[in-house]
A = this chain, B = another copy of it.
């Protein structure tokens, strides 16, 4: 059995963030050492509240949660996406309020601290706008040499965007931060809409979660009801994309990419129609993506296997770990 890797999760919880968090808690390959929140799907503060409450429900309230940036590096938080995630960010589901509160350190400070505590082994999973990660790079320029991997849910490489025709939400919310993160001296795995929109959770999967004896799995199933209604307009049936948990599973290594070229990537920080686009240079497509000198961004374009069964199977292991549901 592999020793679980230490993880720092940066999130804007968010329904699919909740799934990613639960996935990491359930995975035998991950040990979450700290969680920072950032404004995106919801404000950083609401995201922290949701994260604390989910951790308590999963009997994981020993995991510290740090409040991160409310506003992007340029401009200010736009209010989030209640039509996707609900007013409270978790599809209107009410969770018991956890006793724990946020840490005294900021999210960026937590990331820097954990990087020093677990040098060469900390894995960073960023599933919200990249404001905190950019701030951590400013706080600790040596951060790239301290962490072992950075996995970002973000961008739309060849697929359409989801905020504009070309921009994906996490990158669009803070293009300046994303540009800094992609330009830093580390290898980044980008998990874009190309593969997250192709990883679809269906109603049968949701029913499996609802039928679980784990309260965590149940509330995830309840949240997904809201999420499915948003995605019904996009897919033409009740189901949803699996953005954030897929990034978590790729970071853990439990899911493998089949096509994931390492290419040059930049972010459009102009005020033009392309603002917020993650520009991945995929011009090597026709020759099977030959190596590109100096390229640092691994763009996941397809998976070896369908992700949804693995996700549901992993979440259902929470039955053994989470609080039992009252029988009634």
Contacts and interface: CB of A to CB of B under 8 A. Distances in A.
Contact of A274 (B160, B197, B270, B286): B270
A288 B285 CA distance: 24
A275 interface: yes
B273 A273 contact: no
A234 interface: yes
Contacts of A264: 165
Contacts of A162: 283
Contact of A166 (B159, B267, B279, B288): B279
Interface bin, chain A: 20 to 34
A83 interface: no
Given A273-B268, A274-B270, A161 B283 contact: yes
A283 B160 CA distance: 5
Q: Give the number of times this chain occurs in the complex, counting copies.
A: 2
Given A160-B158, A285-B160, A274 B166 contact: yes
A283 B159 CA distance: 9
Given A165-B280, A274-B277, A274-B279, A236 B287 contact: yes
A271 B236 CA distance: 37
A273 B270 CA distance: 7
Max chain B C-beta neighbours (<10 A), residue from A268, A272, A280, A287: A272
Contacts of A236: 286-288
A279 B287 contact: no
Contacts of A233: 287
A216 to B, nearest CB: 29
Contacts of A283: 160-162, 165, 234
Contacts of A246: none
B286 A197 contact: yes
A260 interface: no
A323 interface: no
28 contacts: A158-B160, A160-B281, A160-B283, A162-B283, A165-B264, A165-B281, A165-B282, A165-B283, A166-B274, A166-B277, A166-B279, A233-B287, A234-B287, A235-B287, A236-B288, A266-B273, A267-B273, A268-B272, A269-B272, A270-B270, A270-B274, A271-B272, A272-B272, A272-B274, A273-B274, A273-B277, A274-B274, A274-B277
Given A165-B283, A267-B273, A272-B274, 9 more contacts: A158-B160, A162-B283, A164-B279, A235-B287, A266-B273, A269-B272, A270-B272, A270-B274, A274-B279
